[in-house]
Amino acid sequence: MKNYNVNCIKRDTLILTGKGDDPLWNKAELLTVFVSPWDIKKPKKIEFKAMWDTKNLFFCFTIFDNVIHIDKTDNSFESIGNSDRVELFFRTSASLNPYYCLEIDPTPRIMDFKAYPNKNFNFEWNWPINDLTVKSQINSNNFTVEIAISIKSLNSLNLIKENKIEAGIFRVKYKELENLIFEPTWISWVNPNTENPNFHTPESFGVLNLKEC
């Protein structure tokens, strides 16, 4: 499994603005290797960073793209699902029974749900509101999404084991084919080696290593 080291910072020092501009982000490992195994075209640059401070786990996506598709029909999960977005999945075990999904578009609207094997999704479940913070910003040539998730909530969901979290890191890009018909491109940190696009498989996950503080 692929590994990413999550460096530790002093508690309550990182400030989320949606811009990813806090100097503390320079202490994070930079992940830029993402693949789209089902598309012949190489995806545009993605920068991913994560850190933690014993209270929260922080994430920052910077997506280098100047053509962003956002379905503004309404604020439903369906509209979010038809928009450019970033995604984080967290699993309790390789059985995916259960796992938890966060899908966030650039505005930032949140689609969060609990899932089970074979794409059995429980959209009635939501991340506890006081345990999740999301901010974003759209710029001329990129958009940024910053996320903070409380360590308390991750522990309560049995997602941290020996300072390791098994996670999927994804990006969905919508491109216009013609006449306002849009098609998704599926982009992943880990190549799951599936014939068709599928993030909801054990092979799409890697490991986040929470480094000691």
Model confidence pLDDT, tens digit, residues 111-142: 999 999 999 999 999 999 999 999 999 999 99
Question: Which range marks the domain in which residue 155 is found?
Answer: 3-210
Structural contact between residues 156 and 167, judged by C-beta atoms closer than 8 angstroms: no
Q: What is the pLDDT of residue 179?
A: 78
The pLDDT of residue 177: 87
Share of the chain above pLDDT 70, in %: 100
Write out pLDDT tens, residues 154-201: 999 999 999 999 999 999 999 998 778 899 999 999 999 999 999 999
135-161 pLDDT, tens digit per residue, is 999 999 999 999 999 999 999 999 999
Burial annotation 82-115 (CB, 10 A radius, 16+ → b, else e):
bbbbbbbbbbeeeebebbbbbbbbbbbbbbbbbb
Q: What pLDDT does residue 180 have?
A: 81
- Contact criterion met (CB below 8 Å) for 38 and 172: no
Q: CA torsion, points 195, 98, 104, 77, in degrees to nearest 10?
A: 90
Domain count for the chain:
1
- Residue 119: what pLDDT? 96
Residue 64's CATH number: 2.60.40.1190
